[in-house]
């Protein structure tokens, strides 16, 4: 897939201007920094990244990160179910002078996944 970038500016009058980017040889000392082709603020960069994301562009390797997050969320949900079941179990236990007592019919099933 090819992405085309257009550099446009809108004047106060509403007139639109467009400029093509061209490569020009610079006559500076070797390895000297030339003026930047473009400069954008942090907010503009964030907006650009958001628009690219909304258009479907993703950084390389993001798929594995999204999969890892989904797996962690599923694991946390499973652990929450287990903890809640154990809290119900503990709540039903009674302590007597002989120790913990509970009939097997009162033991709730723990989640398996």
Domains of the chain by residue range: 37-113
Whether the per-residue pLDDT at 40 is higher than 70: the answer is yes
Strand partners, 7: 19
Closest CA to 48 of 106, 7, 14, 1: 7
Structure tokens at 71: 């797996």
Structure tokens at 49: 């990244």
What does pTM read for this prediction?
0.37
CA angle at 109 for the pair 105 and 113, rounded to the nearest 5°: 170
Mean pLDDT of the chain: 75
pLDDT of residue 73: 93
Q: How far apart (Å, rounded) are the C-alpha atoms in residues 51 and 45?
A: 10
DSSP H or E segment with residue 91: helix 62-92
If pLDDT is split at 50, 70 and 90, which confidence band does 97 have? Answer: very low
């Amino acid at each position: 897939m090819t992405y085309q970038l257009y550099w446009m500016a809108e004047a106060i009058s509403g007139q639109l201007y467009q400029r093509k980017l061209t490569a020009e040889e610079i006559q500076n000392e070797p390895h000297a920094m030339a003026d930047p082709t473009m400069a954008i603020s942090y907010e503009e960069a964030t907006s650009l990244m958001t628009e690219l994301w909304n258009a479907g562009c993703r950084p390389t390797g993001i798929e594995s990160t999204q999969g890892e997050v989904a797996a962690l969320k599923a694991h946390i949900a499973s652990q929450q179910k287990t903890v809640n079941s154990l809290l119900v179990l503990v709540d039903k236990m009674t302590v007597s002078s002989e120790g913990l007592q509970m009939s097997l019919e009162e033991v709730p099933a723990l989640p398996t996944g």
